[in-house]
Amino acid sequence: MRIGVITFPGSLDDRDAARGIRIAGAEPVPLWHGDHDLQGVDALVLPGGFSYGDYLRCGAIAAHSPIMTEVIEAANSGMPVLGICNGFQMLTEAHLLPGGLIRNEAGAFVCRDQRLRVESTNTQWTSAFEEGEEIVIPLKNGEGGYIADTATIERLEGEGRVVFRYLGANPNGSINDIAGVANERGNVVGLMPHPEHAVEPGFGPDTAAAMRSGVDGLRFFQSVLQTVLA
């Protein structure tokens, strides 16, 4: 199975996402924002970073990159697409996911080991989790406050499309503590925390068992492996 990771100018966690994919047992395929070519991949990751320096709005310029034509087409025909942090911002800017992300309520960038509750396992990126399970994934962003109009929030909640919720103190002022959402089909998922930073013992978040041993992020990539191969 081949999973594409798109590099935009200013992408930062692209190689980390590729590492997570490799550890999960799939083949990462580097893709370039300026190409109109997905190289026949089975799934896509839009990685974190500061594409185009976050100028205009986070993800706004990248959402109009040449490759996004193909990304939107693939997403609409059911290909699994995961947007992480800046990638999530791009997916909302490209209207593949509803809502938007605004500056953290406290104003400052925040980096922390974040507890999350898995609210939905009915997506192609979360099937390997248990519903209601608590996981820890690093969070690091300056503009991660999820917002949408009331009708959209009600719809997301009603349809079970809120995929992750922050536990403990809300880190960025997101409505209903929303950390990640999915589209109607469940193939497109976006979240602010970074699963690719919890894939390798020794380099992830702390756990009760040992320092930096958290690997909860691995199951994002294992989920998509299961669903695509099924």
Partner 1 sequence: MPETSLQAPVIDTVERAAETPDREQPYGALGLKDDEYARIREILGRRPTSGELAMYSVMWSEHCSYKSSKVWLRQFGQKVSPAMKKNLMVGMGENAGVIDIGEGWAVTFKIESHNHPSYVEPFQGAATGVGGIVRDIISMGARPVGVMDALRFGAVDSPDTARVVHGVVSGISFYGNCLGLPNIGGETWFDPVYQSNPLVNALAVGVLRHEDLHLANARGVGNKVVLFGARTGGDGIGGASILASDTFSEGGPTKRPAVQVGDPFAEKVLIECCLELFRQGLVEGIQDLGAAGISCATAELASNGDGGMAIDLDQVLLRDPSLTAEEILMSESQERMMAIVRPEKLDGFLALTEKWDVETSVLGEVTDTGRLRITWHGQLIVDVDPRTVAVDSPVYERPISRPAWIDAVNADTAAALPRPEDGDELREQVLRLLGSPNLADKSWITDQYDRYVLGNTALSYPDDAGMIRVDEASGLGFAIATDANGRYCYLDPYQGAQLALAESYRNVAVTGATPAAVSDCLNFGSPENPEVMWQFSQAVTGLADGCLALEVPVTGGNVSLYNQTGDQPIHPTPVVAVLGVIDDVARRIPSGWQDEGHNLYLLGTTSLELDGSAWAGVVHDHLGGRPPAVDLEREKDLAALLAAAASESLLGSAHDLADGGLAQALAESALRFGVGARMWLGELCERDAIDAATALFSESTGRVLVSVPREDDVRFVGLCEGRGYPVLRIGVTDGSGPDAAIEVQDLFRIPLDELRVRWTATLPAHFA
Q: What single-letter DSSP state applies at residue 147?
A: E
**19 binds partner 1, rule: CB under 8 A:** yes
In the chain, count of helices (H) and strands (E)? 5, 11
Which of 33, 93, 119, 194 does the annotation list as catalytic?
194
Closer CB to partner 1, residue 151 or residue 208? 208
120: Cβ–Cβ under 8 A, 6 or more apart, which residues? 126, 131, 160, 161, 162, 163, 182, 186
8 A C-beta contact, residue 206 and residue 142: no
β partners of residue 81 = 44, 188
Nearest approach in angstroms of CB 213 to partner 1 is: 10
Sign of CA dihedral 131, 98, 124, 206: negative
197 catalytically annotated: no
Quick one: 142 or 173, whose CB is closer to partner 1?
142
Distance, in Å, from the CA atom of 43 to the CA atom of 167, rounded to the nearest integer, reads 29
Footprint on residues 76-95 left by partner 1 (CB under 8 A)? none
Instruction: Tell me, yes or no, if 85 is annotated catalytic.
Output: yes
Active-site annotation holds for 194? yes
Query: In the set 77, 108, 132, 230, which binds partner 1 (CB under 8 A)?
Result: 108
Residue 140: CB atoms within 10 A of its CB come to 19
Q: Does 140 bind partner 1 (CB under 8 A)?
A: yes
Asked whether position 151 contacts partner 1 by CB under 8 A, the answer is no
10 lines the binding site for partner 1 (CB under 8 A): yes
Per CB under 8 A, the segment of 71-79, 125-133, 200-208, 221-229 that binds partner 1 is 200-208
Residue 57 binding partner 1, by CB under 8 A:
no
- Decide if residue 142 touches partner 1 (CB under 8 A): yes
88 three-class SS: helix
Query: Minimal distance in Å, beta carbon 34 to partner 1?
Result: 8
The DSSP code for 91 is H
User: In terms of DSSP H, where are the helices of the chain?
Assistant: 14-24, 68-76, 86-93, 150-158, 218-229
Using the contact rule CB under 8 A, the part of the chain among 93-101, 109-117, 147-155, 220-228 near partner 1 is 109-117
Known catalytic residues are: 85, 194, 196
Binding stretches for partner 1 (CB under 8 A): 9-10, 12-13, 15-16, 19, 49-50, 52-55, 106, 108-112, 138, 140, 142, 194, 196-197, 199-200, 202-203, 206, 210-212
